[in-house]
Structure 1
Amino acid sequence: MNIQLTDILTAYEAEHYIEGLQIFEITELGCKKWFAQDEVLQKLNFQAHINAITRSDEFIMEAFCTFDKIKPLIYDLIMTEMWKQYVFPYLKSHFTELSSIRSYTVLQHEAIVCNLLQICLFHRTSIEASEGYILEIVDYCYRKLTALLQKPPAKKIEKKSIDYYKNRTKEAEMDEQFQNVEFQIQMMCLSIIRFITDHIKHLPINILHQIIVENDFFFLLIPLIEEKPWLRINPNNEREVFEQSKWVTLNKEDYSKLPKIEAQLWITIYNLFMDPESRRKYELNDFKKSNLLRLRKFMNELLLDQIPQLVDMLRSLEELSLMQVQTQSKNTIVVQQLPELRLAICKDKNWSSIAQKQKEEYFQIDDPSIKEDIKRMAELYSNTVFEGIIDGFKCEKCTKEATKRCSRCKQVWYCSKDCQVGDWPKHKVNCKATTTSKQEDSKQVEKQSDKLLDQID
């Protein structure tokens, strides 16, 4: 029996979902159709992760490009960011009385969209499909990383007492949830800006100008290398690293291993610093030079062994340290395109009125449809595939990390063919029973998909 990672959505289902995606105005956030589309986006996000994990045909990304839905996805991201900034403060106390799943869904929506874009923008095709909207993503990442530097997470987590949890208000709990989601998004932005700079030679001149001149990402990325907000000490005095959207305890033998997110930063800096056009546009002065040279103290043998291409960058930095900085004359004229999406969304908006309307129409505490929404979301997150994507799949036989599962029942995971064969005598009875049950349930899948799309339409 072969083992494989089975898709949550078929390519046809994904195309059907993506083609039907709508653009919602900020005043419509929280309506029934918005919640239905949020559920669709979560399924697409999970499927995109499966495609990336298994390195299979990335039909989610391709469908977003084919149906020109990358730009609406970016619009959704910026719109949700603004809703959380301007509307949510009016609704925060009201949200504490809502169902926890419903409020979490709203707060988590920005992270879902950002995560989906993170996967799509790994590919040059998606970056090209974004056209001028890629400027909005660059500016979005700049805002998120600036906020991260201004308010980094605690480096040492103190143990919370029982009294702390007893006395914590609902608003304080929601603030903590809000900050956790924001931190997830900020970490995603580090990957997104790296993927964009991976294709720096193919970026329009205005995008490079925004990254290098207007935003000057060097003044964000280098302090982040020094601050390392992805590392912390837990209450047990153990070192933790933020990976795959969660904090993971490090084994002592892995202390010297470069965290994946930190590697993303180094590659981004390398992409920007070593690109000839980027260096030509970057007008050096003594202040900028000293900022760049701060990198040298981190570029030891341990780092260079893990990212060998940094050897060339270290050599260039050493050359820079010996150079006399000369003011460059501005002979070129750049007609700069500015990020305009936020201004367009903000135009003629009364945030308190929007909040009041949404409170009365979309976020009613006694809304009878809430129970149905909660049931669907509970089923969504109780699925073993989703749990595995979030927490990591474990081999049924040896408990190591697993990327394949039984092709019959699609419930049990393995790391290798040997473990699957060794576990078969124990698993075969449950496998047969589960397979029979799933065959009976499969007839309902198409009906549920059509019903969900009808809610959006």
Structure 2
Amino acid sequence: MRADELTRGCQCRSGISAFEAEAIIERLERFQVRDVGSRRWMAQHEMTERLNIQAHMNVHHQNEEFVTEALTTFEKLPLLIRDLLVIETWKGKVYPLVLRELATDSVTLYFTLYHEATIVNLLEIVLFSRSACLSAGDALLDLVDYCARKVAKVTAWEAPSDPQALSGKRILEMSDEELMRDKFDEMEFAICIGAIGIMRYLSEHAAELDLSVVTRMLNTHDMISASVYLIERAPWFERTDKNKFRRYEDGAWRDIPRDELPRLGKVEAQAWLTVYNLCLEPKCRESYEYTTQNQDIILRLKSFITEIMVDQLPVLVHLQRYLEELTILQPPEPKHRPNRSILVELVPEILDEITKDIDWDEVAEYQKTTVFRQTEEDKREMARRLAATYDLSEYSELLDPPKCGKCGKDASQRCSRCKTEWYCSRACQVKAWKTHKGACDMVVGYTAL
């Protein structure tokens, strides 16, 4: 069965069966950076997205998690992690070189960029399982490096002055290249937030992970200190006005009333659980190299742990006790620390293999002239397949209730032309038409190809 036949098979109805999931997963293949965006690569992206949606549906309905089981059985987690590093590398090395020429085909380029978010989202679901996490083997070294890069990036994140969704008027004023850069940043933030969740699950399984993976988390990247910086910086929380606040949850920024400010957000809880796991797990306590510097950094958490937080996340009482113990701990001097040089430490290999001896200018030129050069027929086929892949009408229980594009209230009516914007009433739709028309024409024009 070819990749395109598998894709059509998994699109014939809203979900995929366990048999279809196994067939798809068994045939997942390795790609190089130069293959990103190609027909075969895009077919695998569509199948990966189907697996991602089905995995979330299984968790939502508390069904058998056959996607996770199949990825574990066929030992495809290392391939999935490799695919993640391939698209990350492409975004960092090739995307800047092709953006100017390819920005006019923004939809194809957008879904190529979205592949990283798809894999991160799927890994968040799959790595909850201990057996799945262990099946990734040495690839976890590369995954730890990846998460460390994303955590560092989001810790230093500077939010735009207007992070709300783009208005139709602003879309019309922006060039194709500016629009893609804006969407890139929005997507990158979501990916970084997803990496926080992945790190939490890695830390949760630390007791059974290879010592090299634990050492890389604790000493190579010092994810305990990195998580402290992350909690202090709190990029998931923003004060937009004197009395207005918002928090990033479930993939979107949400306004929160003042009386809900003490509530612990989901992303923040992930960061705290990472600290808890890495500090309290005996294997981690034995492996972590304490210094006066990182001891001082960790102790800064004491001021954050309040009774309200402990009520919401009871395990923090144990972390609080650990911090009290750490206060009186005297870190050993360097010359008195255990000699770990006798240990044979594994090193990550996937990223080195992906980037070895690559001429990025040559790859960019190849993609501009071959991979992303599409005929009108190719664009029509791409539009049809993407529309089928991302038709979430059967997954409405996973989605938030739509909001009116004009006033923000709950909406029940959708624009009949583009089917992307929602309104609470005919009156709001008429008022919003002047600014919505441009974006509406853009969407309708593309889907009509």
Scaled to the shorter chain, the TM-score interval is 0.7 to 0.9
Query: Deviation of residue 161 (structure 1)?
Result: 8.9
Aligned to 2:369: 360
Is residue 2:202 matched to residue 1:196? yes
1:187 is aligned to 193
Map of 2:419 onto structure 1: none
Counterparts of residues 32-431 of structure 1 (less than 5 Å): 32-98=39-105, 100-154=106-160, 157=163, 165-234=171-240, 238-327=244-333, 328-332=336-340, 333-364=342-373, 366-386=375-395, 388-391=397-400
Q: Kindly state the Cα deviation for residue 144 of structure 1 after the two structures are TM-superposed.
A: 0.9
Count of paired positions: 390
DSSP 3-state at the match of 1:257: coil
3-state SS of paired residue (1:247): strand
Contact 2:126 2:132 in 1 (8 A): yes
Report the AA paired with residue 325 of structure 1.
Answer: P
CA distance in 2, matches of 1:209, 1:382: 43
1:108 and 1:181 in contact (8 A); partners too = yes
What is the match of residue 21 of structure 1? 28
The answer as to whether partners of 1:296 and 1:314 remain within 8 angstroms in 2 is yes
Give the Å deviation of 1:135.
0.9
> Which shifted more, 146-155 or 32-41?
146-155
Classify 1:159/1:202 alpha carbon distance in 2 versus 1 (closer, same or farther; 3 Å): closer
Percent of pairs with identical residues:
32
Question: What are the superposed Cα offsets for residues 163-196 of structure 1, whole Å, 9 maximum, x if unpaired?
Answer: 7555422222111111111111111111111111
TM-aligned CA deviation for residue 359 of structure 1:
1.1
Give the partner amino acid of 2:324.
E
Higher relative contact order (CA 8 A, sep 6+): 1
TM-score (norm 2): 0.81
Distance 1:115 1:163, change over 3 A: closer
Counterpart in the other structure of 1:430:
none
The 3-state SS of whatever aligns with 2:248 is: strand
User: Separation in 2 of the partners of 1:56 and 1:234?
Assistant: 40
Rounded Cα–Cα distance in structure 2 between residues aligned with 1:61 and 1:221: 27
Could you say if the C-alpha distance between residues 111 and 163 of structure 1 is closer, same or farther in structure 2, counting changes exceeding 3 Å?
closer
Structural RMSD (CA): 2.5
8 A contact 1:15–1:60 mirrored in 2: yes
Query: Is 2:196–2:267's contact at 8 Å kept on the other side of the alignment?
Result: yes
The equivalent of 1:429 in structure 2 is none
Asked if structure 2 preserves the Cα contact closer than 8 Å seen for 1:144 and 1:189, the reply is yes
Indicate conservation of the 8 Å contact 1:46/1:389, yes or no.
no
Q: Whole-Å Cα distance in 1 between the matches of residues 107 and 167 of structure 2?
A: 26
Q: Is the 8 A contact 2:171 2:179 kept in 1?
A: no
Q: In the TM superposition, what is the alpha-carbon distance from 1:391 to its structure 2 partner?
A: 3.2
Q: Helix, strand or coil: the match of 2:339?
A: coil
Q: 2:155–2:234: 8 Å Cα contact kept in structure 1?
A: no
Q: Summarize deviations over 1:357-385 as a string: whole Å, max 9, x none.
A: 11111112545211111122123323313
CA distance in 1, matches of 2:89, 2:163: 30
SS across alignment from 1:13:
helix
For the residues of structure 1 that align with 2:35 and 2:396, how far apart are their CA atoms? 30
In structure 1, list runs of 5 or more residues that go unmatched.
1-5, 401-457
Shift of 1:108: 0.2
Question: Do the aligned residues in 1 keep the contact of 2:200 with 2:270 (CA within 8 Å)?
Answer: yes
Give how far 1:355 is off: 1.0
Moved >4 Å (runs of 4+): 154-166, 234-237
**Counterpart amino acid of residue 339 in structure 2:** N
The one-letter amino acid of 2:248's match is F
> For the residues of structure 1 that align with 2:174 and 2:281, how far apart are their CA atoms?
50
1:241 aligned counterpart, secondary structure: strand
- On the 8 A contact 2:276/2:316 being kept in 1, the answer is yes
